[in-house]
Amino acid sequence: MSATDPLIDAFIEMLAAERGAAANTLEAYRRDLEDYAAFLATSNTTIVHARASDVASYLRDLTEKGLAATSRARRLSALRQFYKFLVAEGHIEDDPVVGIQGPKMGQTLPKTLSVTEVDRLIEAAKARIESTTGRERYAAVRLYCLLEMLYATGMRVSELVSLPRSVLQGDSRVLTIKGKGGRERLVPLNAAARAALDQYLALGEDADDGLSPTVRTKWLFPSKSAEGHLTRQRLGQELKELAIAAGIDPRRVSPHVLRHAFASHLLDRGADLRSVQQLLGHADISTTQIYTHVLEERLRRLVLDHHPLAKAKLG
């Protein structure tokens, strides 16, 4: 093991303890940093003695090896965070990554749906409830509830399907969600989502519908799966079926797309990026910044619609 390994270990421990990073994330950081350390070793350099030219050489080497721009950007991001940590902890004085430019990439925007398309999904879900009975109606009410909650909260699908029934305790206007890394956050429920949840819960209170044993379990959305609750795969399938009924290409609809719609529509209506970060449960605001194109478009429309010179040019 090299002398720099303890520094990588310390950084990984900080990510786990202070940021609650998931195991997969920690492993990815470790793998990237150890690869960087191995590259430096080929020229008899260490992490603490590396200069900007060494970092640039490493990035060039990754390019020559054919590593994708997105992967190179991820490696550079890991180095930025690592060296900031080393400076903050007093292991080095100068950060060699400062001023290093990342690879140029075309902006990859998250797939989303328009407000009109989400409304069509919701209307299709309501129509399915009206046209079904028995177990099919139970499934339809559940799907409508899940759809409203996804769009109202922006929860990750894994967070939603694994909600324990105990989440209903306390204020009915908010839910306490345990997200990545065990971090808890509060997510508000709007009136539509609360009404859909109440409709779903009421099914289990009707002694004649035969659903009480199914609904009253540890999980809010139970099923016969190995996990004991509805799976993310099953919810994805049901949403695609609903998309077909709503006349939307099913390839464009998924739980994650609805999460993107939640964030995009909030920003488009004036929400600030920091608030959306908190609602989505992102540990780092840089993750939320994929939505800055929404803010940029809103500002562009604001100028075109209200600036006198813009109106003059249009005239």
pLDDT in tens, the chain (315 residues): 344 578 999 999 999 888 788 888 899 999 999 999 999 999 999 999 999 999 999 999 999 998 888 888 889 999 999 999 999 999 999 999 998 887 765 555 567 889 999 999 999 999 999 999 988 999 999 999 999 999 999 898 999 999 999 898 888 888 888 877 777 888 889 999 999 999 999 986 543 444 444 445 789 999 888 889 999 999 999 999 999 999 999 999 999 999 989 988 888 887 877 888 888 887 777 767 767 666 566 556 555 555 565 455 444
pLDDT of residue 255: 93
pLDDT of residue 29: 92
pLDDT of residue 314: 45
Q: Please say if 300 is a catalytic residue.
A: no
Active-site entry in 58, 144, 200, 291: 291
- pTM of the full structure: 0.60
pLDDT of residue 83: 95
pLDDT of residue 305: 59
- For residue 33, count CB atoms less than 10 angstroms from its CB and return exposed for 0-12, middle for 13-18, buried for 19 or more: buried
pLDDT of residue 238: 96
Active-site entry in 156, 229, 232, 265: 156
Active-site entry in 84, 91, 180, 194: 180
pLDDT of residue 32: 94
Active-site entry in 84, 256, 293, 298: 256
Q: Please say if 65 is a catalytic residue.
A: no
pLDDT of residue 295: 59
Q: Which domains does the chain have, with CATH numbers?
A: 5-88 (1.10.150.130), 115-298 (1.10.443.10)
Q: Please say if 104 is a catalytic residue.
A: no
Q: Please say if 291 is a catalytic residue.
A: yes
Q: Please say if 259 is a catalytic residue.
A: yes
Q: Please say if 144 is a catalytic residue.
A: no
Active-site entry in 229, 259, 260, 265: 259
pLDDT of residue 300: 62
Active-site entry in 142, 229, 232, 282: 282
pLDDT of residue 169: 87
pLDDT of residue 3: 44
